[in-house]
């Protein structure tokens, strides 16, 4: 299962930036950092999860395509699934148990912290429509969708390897239908996301999140085919194209354009970052951005815990008197300062969970079950 291709260093910081954006979306919405009437840059932060799915499919195809190009064997399927389990499950279980413990201590049992939903989260079924809303560690719904994509990845890999022309026809049709249906056709389940169809949003989580995840994951796999062409990769490696695509995405987010218009720019950004050899490549190899990418999974999963701890500390030590000294509603500068402090706290906490939980557990499982001391993929 060893990767014969180069490590995609440029995608590592992209994951870190996306994880911080999602955290800013959740915390910024709580603090009302930027009103939607001024800009939708923060309110559209949930779309960073779709960028995650696209990058995930791209990286999985980059790393594991050769393993499943001919056939699925018990050995290669087992090694793949163990490696992916080691990557996502230990920290997921840890954060779930921490939140259960925090809820038990505080006694704050509510529909989100529903004891009946614990097993749904333990078995990573949060995106399958089994609950009426997102429960416990709410960002972890995407792990359920990611795991569903992992389960079908070997089948997709064989299909794309053996039936290249057919797959290039069928899979894009599936992706278009999936995204279109989620935004315009499929009604929300349960009691959350009631405005999704009215606003035509792709913010699908606990109900049909697995469809959203598989669609993005499959798109990422298809994008890798373009990455393999030397001439196309040469065009993609230019800084200017990446800047144009990033600018397009930011402008669309600012004005709150329909969510479907972000999917292709996100795919293009993934391709451009993976192929880039210019200034973006140099920036992505900075120690700070590589560090953020390394702990990005912890940033994403720990954000709910960090929010509870940060807001509890604010109340406990009366920090609002320091950071919100002005009378009336907090100013933008005051809210921005608190948000930056939260992100700093989140990154610090994520570095701890990465070094004490995520990385050691992953390495232990890999060493024990697939006889390797290194993670099998990014």
- Report the pLDDT value the prediction gives residue 66, as an integer from 0 to 100: 84
Helix (H) or strand (E) holding 52: helix 48-64
Q: Residue for token digits 């005051």?
A: 334
- Report the pLDDT value the prediction gives residue 326, as an integer from 0 to 100: 61
Structure tokens given for 43:
């309110």
Instruction: Please report the sign of the dihedral spanned by the C-alpha atoms of residue 239, residue 244, residue 248, residue 250.
Output: positive
CB neighbourhood size of 30 (10 A): 12
**Spatial distance between the Cα atoms of 32 and 21, rounded to a whole number of angstroms:** 15
Are 201 and 44 a contacting pair, CB within 8 Å?
no
Q: Residue for token digits 């939980």?
A: 357
Are 222 and 168 a contacting pair, CB within 8 Å?
yes
**Spatial distance between the Cα atoms of 134 and 44, rounded to a whole number of angstroms:** 18
Express each pLDDT in 141-185 by its tens digit.
999 999 999 999 999 999 998 898 999 999 999 999 999 999 988
Q: How much is the pTM?
A: 0.91
**Spatial distance between the Cα atoms of 283 and 276, rounded to a whole number of angstroms:** 11
- Report the pLDDT value the prediction gives residue 197, as an integer from 0 to 100: 61
Whole-Å CA distances, 98 to 90, 93, 101, 104, 304:
12, 9, 5, 10, 11
CB neighbourhood size of 289 (10 A): 18
Are 42 and 24 a contacting pair, CB within 8 Å?
yes
CB neighbourhood size of 328 (10 A): 6
Beta-carbon contacts of residue 370 (< 8 Å; ≥ 6 apart): 1, 78, 79, 82, 83, 376
Whole-Å CA distances, 182 to 115, 138, 196, 263:
29, 19, 9, 13
Are 227 and 54 a contacting pair, CB within 8 Å?
no
- Report the pLDDT value the prediction gives residue 321, as an integer from 0 to 100: 55
Where does residue 348 rank: exposed (0-12), middle (13-18), buried (19+ CB within 10 A)?
exposed
Which DSSP letter does residue 208 get? T
- Which residues of the chain, if any, have pLDDT below 50? 1-4, 373-376
- Report the pLDDT value the prediction gives residue 373, as an integer from 0 to 100: 41
- Report the pLDDT value the prediction gives residue 5, as an integer from 0 to 100: 53
- Report the pLDDT value the prediction gives residue 334, as an integer from 0 to 100: 79
């Amino acid at each position: 299962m060893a990767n014969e291709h180069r490590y995609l260093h440029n995608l590592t910081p992209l994951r870190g930036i996306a994880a911080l954006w999602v955290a800013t979306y959740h915390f910024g919405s709580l603090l009302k950092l930027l009103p939607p009437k001024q800009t939708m840059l923060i309110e559209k932060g949930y779309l960073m999860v779709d960028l995650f799915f696209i990058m995930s499919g791209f990286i999985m195809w980059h790393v594991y395509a050769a393993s499943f190009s001919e056939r699925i064997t018990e050995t290669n399927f087992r090694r793949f699934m163990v490696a992916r389990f080691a990557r996502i499950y230990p920290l997921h279980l840890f954060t779930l148990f921490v939140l259960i413990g925090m809820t038990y201590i505080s006694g704050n049992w509510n529909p989100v912290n529903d004891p009946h939903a614990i097993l749904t989260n333990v078995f990573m079924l949060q995106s399958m429509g089994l609950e009426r809303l997102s429960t416990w560690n709410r960002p972890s719904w995407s792990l359920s969708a990611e795991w569903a994509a992992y389960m079908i990845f070997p089948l997709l890999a064989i299909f794309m390897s053996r039936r290249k022309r057919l797959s290039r026809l069928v899979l894009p049709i599936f992706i278009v239908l999936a995204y279109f249906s989620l935004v315009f056709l499929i009604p929300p389940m349960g009691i959350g996301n009631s405005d999704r169809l009215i606003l035509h949003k792709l913010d699908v989580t606990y109900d049909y999140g697995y469809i959203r995840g598989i669609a993005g994951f499959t798109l990422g796999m298809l994008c890798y085919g373009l990455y393999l062409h030397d001439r196309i990769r040469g065009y993609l490696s230019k800084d200017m194209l990446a800047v144009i695509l990033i600018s397009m995405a930011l402008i669309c987010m600012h004005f709150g354009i329909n969510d479907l218009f972000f999917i292709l720019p996100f795919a293009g950004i993934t391709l451009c970052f993976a192929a880039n050899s210019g200034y973006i490549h140099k920036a992505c190899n900075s120690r700070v951005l590589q560090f953020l990418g390394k702990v990005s999974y912890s940033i994403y999963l720990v954000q709910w815990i960090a929010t509870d701890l940060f807001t509890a500390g604010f109340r406990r030590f009366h920090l609002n008197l320091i950071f919100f000294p002005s009378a009336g509603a907090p100013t933008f500068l005051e809210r921005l300062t608190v948000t930056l402090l939260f992100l700093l706290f989140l990154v610090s906490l994520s570095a701890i969970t990465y070094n004490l939980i995520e990385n050691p557990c992953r390495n232990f499982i890999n060493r024990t079950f697939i006889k390797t001391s290194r993670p099998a993929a990014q």
